[in-house]
Amino acid sequence: MADNSYFHLHLVSDSTGETLITVARAAAAQYSGVTPVEHLYPMVRTIRQLELALAEIEEAPGLVLYTLLDEELVTVLEKKCRELGLPCMSILGPVLRLFQSYLGAETTHRVGAQHVLNAEYFNRIDALNFTMMHDDGQNVETLNNADVVLVGVSRTSKTPTSIYLANRGVKTGNVPLVPNVPLAPEVERLTLPLVVGLYASAERIVQIRENRLLGLKAHRDDDQYIDRSAVAEEVTYSRRLCAKHNWPTIDVTRRSIEETAAAVMKLLTERRRRPG
């Protein structure tokens, strides 16, 4: 396939399609020269619904990935793909067979089993609500109810990391460190949450801030916001503050949100394992 070309990627699911999207995008990201045109068919649970998807697949041939548990639907989909000469693969099939061989048990074939409204689901919703109420330094008086509190200067990905953690059931607050603005005493007195400092190189922060201002077509009279020396002082202050309180820090200069969240989760797990 030529560089900078497009290909059709058909994702057929009997549930929301989140699993398919995650796997497909992770795989597609490894091929910089091509771009997938995604076609998502969620909640496909009847032959009629599958036929509608197959009509689109035939009109725009491409790679077909699916997460279907109904054997009749799988048979129809794979048969049609063979007729069209299209590659077709189950994302869950190989994993389920591995589980079956190891556990010695058949699958339940329960559609959408991962989305059951159980205690874990409601914990995630509770965590998301908490995180949104404690974003960007809000409601510091109740931050002690958090599992994690992230602190850092502007543009160190505190909010997206907080939301990512909340989606995993971790109640997360975040507090910005602003030049010449004292940190709220409630934050310095926190005892229950794991407080983690996020920092990045001054160059990286300046780059992100400049891009943000350009994107917003905004102007700030305070040029200290993107001044290299001033930003370096901000970073130094944040690291000294964390050292003063013995808060662990994470360098997010070259980390994705997922990698930062994984590092926070590791710190949280280690903390919970400690006696006392």
Query: Per-residue pLDDT for the chain (276 aa), expressed as one digit of tens each?
Result: 544 588 999 999 998 888 889 899 889 888 888 889 999 999 999 999 999 999 999 999 999 999 998 999 999 999 999 999 999 999 988 888 888 888 886 665 565 555 555 667 778 889 999 999 999 999 999 999 999 999 999 999 999 999 999 989 999 999 999 988 999 999 999 999 999 999 999 999 999 998 888 876 666 555 788 999 999 999 999 999 999 999 999 999 999 999 999 999 999 999 988 876
The Cα–Cα gap between 165 and 62 comes to 35
Please list, in sequence order, all residues whose beta carbon lies within 8 angstroms of the beta carbon of residue 41, skipping any fewer than 6 positions away: 10, 11, 12, 13, 17, 49, 52, 53, 56
Q: What is the pLDDT of residue 184?
A: 95
Written as six digits, the tokens of 73 are 């639907």
pTM (two decimals) = 0.64
Fold of the domain spanning 119-273: Rossmann fold (3.40.50)
Domain range summary for the chain, segments of one domain joined by +: 5-115, 119-273
CB 42 within 8 A of CB 71: no
Fold of the domain spanning 5-115: Rossmann fold (3.40.50)
